[in-house]
Amino acid sequence: MKMTDSINKLAHKFSTLPGVGAKTAMRYAYAVIGMSEADVEEFCKAMLDVKHNVRYCEKCGNFTESDVCDICRKRPSDVICVVTYPKDVAAMEKSHSFHGVYHVLHGTISPLEGRGADDIRVKELLARLDGVKEVILATNPDVEGEATAMYIARLIKPLGIKVTRLAQGISMGSDIEYADEVTLSRALESRVEL
């Protein structure tokens, strides 16, 4: 769409956000025009604040605004849950079921894309294992996530630490009719006695 230069430029910026196409970007740009100047300034401040204040926790690699994140500071560190990205920490926390600390890998091992174990935070994980009783591997149940979990398990198990993986099975509220065959076969293998 042909608009004034400033509007086109802003729409282009919005289109760099994930999942935002040209039309949505233009819609967002219109919304900015409709905001009060104070609102736009606050919006900008919020963006710059995030960029300036947010960094990675020295211990776990999660987002934090101090050197060590709240979770690392307040919780017992004898159980570590290993996740791929900071957003996975947020998802786990929403379940209110885990009360230990996290370790964020910031990626998966992916030979196809040329990412090896040195490109993710595996070394940092190994350096944290003193006194740890259990490492829960909560990488995604896809090829890369599985490979990464297997790799880490092979490193940690010999140290005598319990290594577990999130259970796989059919999800809550899903329909067995539509479950894929791999998921169903795993759910069957891991069936539990009632």
Q: How far is the CB of 139 from its own copies (least distance, A)?
A: 18
Interatomic CA distance for residues 24 and 174, integer angstroms = 31
Interatomic CA distance for residues 81 and 163, integer angstroms = 10
SS3 category, 107: coil
Q: Binding mask 101-140 vs its own copies (x if CB under 8 A, - otherwise)?
A: ----------------------------------------
Does position 86 interact with its own copies (CB under 8 A)? The reply is: yes
Among 15, 21, 22, 31, binds its own copies (CB under 8 A): 31
Interatomic CA distance for residues 141 and 143, integer angstroms = 7
Q: How far is the CB of 83 from its own copies (least distance, A)?
A: 14
DSSP E strand boundaries for the chain: 55-56, 63-64, 79-83, 101-104, 134-137, 162-165
Report the site for its own copies in 163-192 (rule: CB under 8 A): none
The H or E element spanning position 186 is helix 181-189
Does position 19 interact with its own copies (CB under 8 A)? The reply is: yes
Does position 37 interact with its own copies (CB under 8 A)? The reply is: yes
Does position 16 interact with its own copies (CB under 8 A)? The reply is: yes
SS3 category, 19: coil
Q: Which residues contact its own copies (rule: CB under 8 A)?
A: 1-7, 9-10, 12-13, 16-19, 24, 26-33, 35, 37, 39-44, 46-51, 53-54, 63-65, 86-87, 90-91, 93-94
